[in-house]
Amino acid sequence: MQAAGQFHLPKEHGRAPGLSVSMARTMAALALLGGAFVMLYPDAAAAAAPGAEMKFVLDSFAFLVWGVLVMWMCAGFTMLEAGSVRTKNASVICLKNIGLYAIAGLTFYFIGYNLMYVGVEDGGWIGTFSFLYGTTAEEIALLTAADAAPEQVEAVVSNGYATMSDWFFQMVFVATTASIVSGALAERVKLVSFFLFIAILTALIYPVVGAWTWGGGWLDAMGFQDFAGSTIVHSTGGWAALAGALIVGPRRNKFRANGSAKATPPSNVPAVTLGVFILWMGWFGFNGGSQLALGGAADVVALANILANTNLAAAGGVLAALALARPLFGRTDLLAGLNGAIGGLVAITAGPDLVEHYWAVVIGLIGGSVTTAGLKVLEALKIDDVVGAIPAHLFAGVWGTMAVCIAAGGDVLVQLTGVLAVGAFVFATSLLVWLGIKYTIGARVSHTVEELGQDAAELGIEAYPEFVLMPEVDDD
Amino acid sequence: MQAAGQFHLPKEHGRAPGLSVSMARTMAALALLGGAFVMLYPDAAAAAAPGAEMKFVLDSFAFLVWGVLVMWMCAGFTMLEAGSVRTKNASVICLKNIGLYAIAGLTFYFIGYNLMYVGVEDGGWIGTFSFLYGTTAEEIALLTAADAAPEQVEAVVSNGYATMSDWFFQMVFVATTASIVSGALAERVKLVSFFLFIAILTALIYPVVGAWTWGGGWLDAMGFQDFAGSTIVHSTGGWAALAGALIVGPRRNKFRANGSAKATPPSNVPAVTLGVFILWMGWFGFNGGSQLALGGAADVVALANILANTNLAAAGGVLAALALARPLFGRTDLLAGLNGAIGGLVAITAGPDLVEHYWAVVIGLIGGSVTTAGLKVLEALKIDDVVGAIPAHLFAGVWGTMAVCIAAGGDVLVQLTGVLAVGAFVFATSLLVWLGIKYTIGARVSHTVEELGQDAAELGIEAYPEFVLMPEVDDD
Amino acid sequence: MQAAGQFHLPKEHGRAPGLSVSMARTMAALALLGGAFVMLYPDAAAAAAPGAEMKFVLDSFAFLVWGVLVMWMCAGFTMLEAGSVRTKNASVICLKNIGLYAIAGLTFYFIGYNLMYVGVEDGGWIGTFSFLYGTTAEEIALLTAADAAPEQVEAVVSNGYATMSDWFFQMVFVATTASIVSGALAERVKLVSFFLFIAILTALIYPVVGAWTWGGGWLDAMGFQDFAGSTIVHSTGGWAALAGALIVGPRRNKFRANGSAKATPPSNVPAVTLGVFILWMGWFGFNGGSQLALGGAADVVALANILANTNLAAAGGVLAALALARPLFGRTDLLAGLNGAIGGLVAITAGPDLVEHYWAVVIGLIGGSVTTAGLKVLEALKIDDVVGAIPAHLFAGVWGTMAVCIAAGGDVLVQLTGVLAVGAFVFATSLLVWLGIKYTIGARVSHTVEELGQDAAELGIEAYPEFVLMPEVDDD
């Protein structure tokens, strides 16, 4: 009888933000029957249970409220990155971030959503290459009806949620993936090249990964579990960033001739801290909204667990990163601690609905540790990641996806398949795109621009014109 | 049967945040009848449809949640403005912003709300000059009842929403109008003169415009459509700012003897960017809350469309502004792009509930373009607007109000009447008030104060005392 | 019949965030009976009233949404404090804030919640010393049921809210208490000593105060009213900070030989302002969430009043503080105005649900005045409080708690007993802990570290390495 409940993928398929449209249509038909039954026999429904329309309202409203919080994460990435780079590149990173959010919002409307969710066959690989996405005819009929008939309401309600509420929530997710790339490649990737890559990532690469999983494709059919996207969102961003970091190369003088890394201290530590608090806050929407529903007792119990676990994992991430940074970096390292929060958050994202909450602490502790140790690994490999995005989003994302096997009964082989398949696809396609960019318009600014700073060279402004008397010069 | 639904103004009257009380009372009587019918014959209501009390809860809750996001926009304006001014005026602009929010919150409680919404006759001009606004006797009876009778609940529910939830949402709107003024007049308007103007704007000028429109007055009777206030909120703020900019005059040395404008670069670009992200986020509440309801399927479908359109228009505004700034200003201009987001948001505000979403992109693209081109227009007219508030809020607000004719079937003459009437009234009264201020307490700081900076002169502090070794001096 | 409604403490006991578990169990049994009645006789419930499951959903959701806003207050404290300290200590204060939030989130999960809420006897003193808190067996049964039986839903719904939604909301409250301490003791308390104190405060001291009051202990039995925690949260933080300030002592050279205080201007005024806007925004969640419910008309009417009153009091606080600062400090003082907002907010927190809203303005005006005058009192007593946390949270908290007697009929003796008992307990235990820390690991950094700055000495970084050419030296 619980119509909206039928829209959830069965738990063993992973709770997915978004359904394939083919699946949704089948379900809608079933729901319509169920709904009609309720409407014909109102007494058959317990008076204490929410009605179908109310479930529809709450499920849609939840998408929107949580989606607004996820949008807010873009501001968090911006502050984190603008504070992490040197002042001479702080304006450009602001532009990259607001630009990527604008681009992602349009590409996902024009192409991305359809490719990810519309017409993905069961076990399939991609959705539809079609243009635009929007309000359904049934919804328009309801909105324009002077006096809506119950059948008109039912036709809309049977979809489970307002069409564009789901679109909105999915759109802010793809923006998150894009945000991960900007931080890693800061201070040397060309503005226009970056925007071009983001357009391809958000229109094509991410939606294909999404089609395999939340869209109902082959990884979903295998039973791959990734509740809110440790792999689908965060590792995807991380792989794309890694490919970019390899092609674009490290900042000039980041690595000394003897191979050791030069410290590149953040220019604005309070801004970095604010960014992490924003991300932490936004993550409640990121994980909470991925419950995809609010309209029943089970949903809200799961939601409460998700928010509690998200917070516990982030807290664990902070403390583990601070503790591990002491032996590893020889000091109490605020930036490691801040990145540890992100590592803990990424790690819990694959399974934030677990009911034994101490597991969230453990997953966060390890997530924060992986993130901190990962900084050392990248340095050893001479990969330059300005904000530590690859350890936090990719390494902790892999850990989180595998941790589902321990804490929530995921299948090791299936989870590993998902990690590797997404990794291979995203890394390979990103590498190709970055190579294409490199050998056409160029991926990287000139040495002169890099030394002068992208703000002055590409935008003709300074981020803090009255503060900095003399921009740092990159000599050893 | 859908009691709460009856509280919406018919669509052709524009969906209005707030109803005139006279209209609300008539509706309340109808709703009471409807509600009583539901209570007498519960089986007559489909079990799947939300009950009247639930609608009341959700509609009121929506006012509050979205209202909190609109309040947050004040922080966005503050960051945008504090980052845009030179460091020597950054503290004063912070004080102006927190002060205006405090003032608006009190004037709208003491006078403004009554003038805007209480007792506006159909087609009338103003509401009531009466003091204070508050919880109704029915609400107090319900709150203090040990065991509330169904009639007591019904008496409260029949109003459609909790009295103060609507007040809260309307109050944060008037604060937005006030915020627009502070940015345009920054760096030279006297603190006390600014606060005096804000008190008059929020207690009298804005409420009269509101009475004509959302309060049910003559523009509303004509069918003027302005869903969330492209004209009513944003152009009103823009006209008030324009009048102030004309009376107060440009900053010293802003325009050279030959008439060309000197660049006055923002002192803190990441702060400006953060401000725009905050505004973008808050705008989901601004436009979403203006649906005025949440308690049914049609409402939440409209809400989803509103949030999607708001985002699409802002994204379009960013990209159009960036593109247009290249030929116009000869560079990739981050600040134009950021202001373009605001232009896109202002433009979609008059009709964010449109169902063909590509229109939102188009409206945003043009909104961003108008905003960017408007900067040039102001410069040509030698009007000094520190943050570009007049192009973003007034010019894009006019465009958005007229765009309703294209995208949502508004009447051109009616929309134009609204634009011109609001413009004439707000500009004329603001001009009078600014003139009165100029010739009594003075509108503008002295040349000495302007050169020294308002922070040191008016507050005795510096915004960043450890960063700036030597404040900029305004010589050519 | 209104099952969820029975979970509210009667008004004369103060509306409490959280119930003692013993009390909750009794209520749950009653609710189960009530719920069963509704389920057996659906027609007996008016169709227009929300069902029990919907109440459960909304009440739990409200905890989570408002809780997210309260978590956001930690970012507000961080910005306020990072902007208030000198640049040489800005990174350490960031670490203290993210660290305290992580610590509070874990201690309250491991120990604190149980000590505060689980098994507090009526009129008792403490809850249970037990380890971990979590999802109930009934909730797990519901979450894992393939097809939940109505009895399973009922078993969960009868608790009134999802277990972890309440935990989440209470957890963010304890973090607020901890945040108050960091600001007052900034710039000289050792990092590790601070974290140790926070662990004890959040695991033991605050939960005991909570057990006396919201947990259903002896102060609650007396009828002590403190709706959202003027005393329980804010004064507790204030007393802990005061004890710390006395033991740790003032910053070097804060007070001159003649006893007068040196000005220590904030290093980043826009950051302080942003912090206050964040706190103001978050306070809507702090006070609004303390209604503990959303699922009925009376709840949402109360919620609307709470948000309106919270805003009115904050606005009053700003204006009163600005006005009073002129004679007191001889200038228009932005920082006094900002702290006045906090004072107004703290003052209304004990009774934000009052229905005569002008009282909120009055309470806020006095709260802002007390905060501003309190700065002078602390200076006279040579107590160094970097951000004015003790006046804003302790002095205004006492005022707010007593103001309940005027505005909402609280009993003067009872309120005074609460203020004094909480004060004596928190101050005495905090003093002991600080003394213990002082004579073991030391509470304060060395003179050398203090002069060099904690950022360089304890973290090996600078907050703004490119801005500040020469750190300020503390000579007279």
3-state secondary structure chain C: CCCHHHHCCCHHHCCCCCCCHHHHHHHHHHHHHHHHHHHHCHHHCCCCCCCHHHHHHHHHHHHHHHHHHHHHHHHHHHHHHHHHCCHHHHHHHHHHHHHHHHHHHHHHHHHHHHHHHCCCCCCCCCCCCCCCCCCCHHHHHHHHCCCCCHHHHHHHHCCCCCHHHHHHHHHHHHHHHHHHHHHHCCCCECHHHHHHHHHHHHHHHHHHHHHHCCCCCHHHHHCCCCCCCHHHHHHHHHHHHHHHHHHHCCCCCCECCCCCECCCCCCCHHHHHHHHHHHHHHHHHHHHHCCCCCCCHHHHHHHHHHHHHHHHHHHHHHHHHHHHHHHHHCCCCHHHHHHHHHHHHHHHCCCCCCCCCHHHHHHHHHHHHHHHHHHHHHHHCCCCCCCCHHHHHHHHHHHHHHHHHHHCCCCHHHHHHHHHHHHHHHHHHHHHHHHHHHCCCCCECCHHHHHHCHHHHHHCCCCCCCCCCCCCCCCC
> A368: closest CA among A432, A319, A297?
A319
Q: Point out the residue among C67, C94, C462 whose CB comes nearest to the CB of A273.
A: C94
**Could you tell me which chain C residue has the CA closest to the CA of B459?**
C332
pLDDT value at residue C202: 98
Q: How far is it, in rounded angstroms, from Cα B316 to Cα C159?
A: 48
pLDDT value at residue C23: 43
Q: B463 pLDDT exceeds 50? A: yes
Q: Point out the residue among B79, B99, B157 whose CB comes nearest to the CB of C270.
A: B79
Q: What residues 172-211 of chain A have any CB closer than 8 A to a CB of chain B?
A: 191
> B8: closest CA among B310, B266, B214?
B214
Half-sphere exposure (CA, 13 Å, Cβ side) for A365? Answer: 9
pLDDT value at residue C409: 83
The chains in contact with chain C, meaning 3 or more Cβ pairs closer than 8 Å, are A, B
Which comes out higher in pLDDT, residue C9 or C296?
C296
Q: Are B315 and A101 inside 8 Å of each other by CB?
A: yes
Q: Are C274 and B83 inside 8 Å of each other by CB?
A: no
Confidence of residue A45 (pLDDT cuts 50, 70, 90): very low
Q: How far is it, in rounded angstroms, from Cα B455 to Cα B449?
A: 9
Mean pLDDT of chain C: 90
Confidence of residue C2 (pLDDT cuts 50, 70, 90): very low
Residues ≥6 apart with Cβ < 8 Å to C262: C253, C254, C255, C256, C476
pLDDT value at residue B410: 86
Token pair in block for residue C129:
């010393």
Q: How far is it, in rounded angstroms, from Cα B307 to Cα B300?
A: 10
How confident is the model over B89-128, as pLDDT tens digits? 999 999 999 999 999 999 999 999 999 999 999 999 999 9
Residue C215 in contact with residue C229, Cβ under 8 Å? no
The chains in contact with chain B, meaning 3 or more Cβ pairs closer than 8 Å, are A, C
Q: Point out the residue among C43, C71, C142 whose CB comes nearest to the CB of A298.
A: C142
Q: For chain A, percent helix, then strand, then coil, each to nearest 5? A: 70, 0, 30
How many beta-carbon contacts under 8 Å exist across B and C?
Answer: 231
pLDDT value at residue A67: 98
Q: C171 pLDDT exceeds 80? A: yes
Confidence of residue B474 (pLDDT cuts 50, 70, 90): very low
Confidence of residue B10 (pLDDT cuts 50, 70, 90): very low
Confidence of residue A338 (pLDDT cuts 50, 70, 90): very high
> B270: closest CA among A385, A334, A81?
A81
Q: Are B156 and C280 inside 8 Å of each other by CB?
A: no
Q: Are C281 and B75 inside 8 Å of each other by CB?
A: yes
How confident is the model over C135-146, as pLDDT tens digits? 999 999 999 998
- A273 in reach of chain C (CB within 8 A): yes
Contacts of A54 in chain B (CB under 8 A): 50, 54
Longest dimension (CA), chain B: 80
Confidence of residue C410 (pLDDT cuts 50, 70, 90): confident
How confident is the model over A415-469, as pLDDT tens digits? 999 999 999 999 999 999 999 999 999 999 999 999 999 999 999 999 999 986 6
Contacts of C459 in chain A (CB under 8 A): 331-334
Token pair in block for residue C296:
């009925």
Q: Is A158 left (phi over 0), alpha (psi -120 to 50) or beta?
A: alpha
Q: Are A57 and B361 inside 8 Å of each other by CB?
A: no
How confident is the model over B226-282, as pLDDT tens digits? 999 999 999 999 999 999 999 999 999 899 988 899 988 999 999 999 999 999 999
Q: A26 pLDDT exceeds 90? A: no
What are A189's strand-pairing partners?
A444
pLDDT value at residue B49: 64
Nearest CA of chain A to the CA of B239: how many Å?
28
Mean pLDDT of chain B: 89
Token pair in block for residue C385:
């409080």
Mean pLDDT lowest for which of A220-229, A316-325, A348-357, C5-14? C5-14
Backbone φ and ψ of C254, nearest 5°: -65, -40
How much is the average pLDDT of C191-198? 98
SS3 B318: helix
Residue B270 in contact with residue A463, Cβ under 8 Å? yes
Contacts of B272 in chain A (CB under 8 A): 94
| CATH numbers and ranges of domains, chain A | 56-121+165-459 (1.10.3430.10)
- A41 in reach of chain C (CB within 8 A): no
Q: C40 pLDDT exceeds 50? A: no
Confidence of residue C469 (pLDDT cuts 50, 70, 90): low
Confidence of residue C414 (pLDDT cuts 50, 70, 90): very high
Interface predicted TM-score (ipTM)? 0.91
Q: Point out the residue among C47, C460, C463 whose CB comes nearest to the CB of A269.
A: C463
Q: A32 pLDDT exceeds 90? A: no
Nearest CA of chain B to the CA of C88: how many Å?
10
Identify residue C132 by its one-letter amino acid code.
Answer: L
pLDDT value at residue B469: 60
Interface mutation vs chain B, best among A37, A41, A60, A98, most B CBs within 10 Å: A98
How much is the average pLDDT of B352-356? 96
> A227: closest CA among A73, A347, A93?
A347
Residue A63 in contact with residue A164, Cβ under 8 Å? no
Identify residue A468 by its one-letter amino acid code.
Answer: V
Q: C93 pLDDT exceeds 60? A: yes
Q: Point out the residue among C298, C316, C338 whose CB comes nearest to the CB of B142.
A: C298
- B64 in reach of chain A (CB within 8 A): no
**Could you tell me which chain C residue has the CA closest to the CA of B67?**
C307
> C195: closest CA among C70, C77, C100, C327?
C100
> B61: closest CA among B221, B148, B168, B189?
B168
Residues ≥6 apart with Cβ < 8 Å to C413: none
| Residue carrying the six token digits 């206050």 | C276
Q: Could you tell me what percent of chain B has a pLDDT over 70?
A: 88
Alpha helical stretches, state H, B145-268: 150-157, 163-184, 191-200, 206-212, 218-222, 236-248
Using the CB atoms, write b or e for A234-244: b if 16+ within 10 Å. Answer: bbbbbbbbbbb
Token pair in block for residue C360:
């909120």
Q: Are C270 and B82 inside 8 Å of each other by CB?
A: yes
Q: B9 pLDDT exceeds 60? A: no
How confident is the model over A136-169, as pLDDT tens digits? 999 999 999 989 999 999 999 999 999 999 999 9
> B160: closest CA among B43, B21, B264, B316?
B21
pLDDT value at residue A346: 98
Q: Could you tell me what percent of chain B has a pLDDT over 90?
A: 84
Q: Give me the long-range contacts of B436-444 (CB less than 8 A, separation at least 24).
A: B437/B193, B437/B196, B437/B197, B437/B247, B438/B247, B438/B248, B441/B190, B441/B192, B441/B193, B441/B196, B442/B190, B442/B193, B443/B189, B443/B190, B443/B193, B443/B244, B443/B247, B443/B248, B444/B188, B444/B189, B444/B190, B444/B193, B444/B248, B444/B249
Interface mutation vs chain B, best among C269, C462, C464, most B CBs within 10 Å: C269
Q: C217 pLDDT exceeds 50? A: yes
Contacts of A333 in chain C (CB under 8 A): 459
Confidence of residue C407 (pLDDT cuts 50, 70, 90): confident
Contacts of B45 in chain C (CB under 8 A): 47-48
Q: How far is it, in rounded angstroms, from Cα A76 to Cα A284?
A: 13
How much is the average pLDDT of C352-357? 96
Confidence of residue B37 (pLDDT cuts 50, 70, 90): very low
Q: How far is it, in rounded angstroms, from Cα C58 to Cα B347?
A: 34
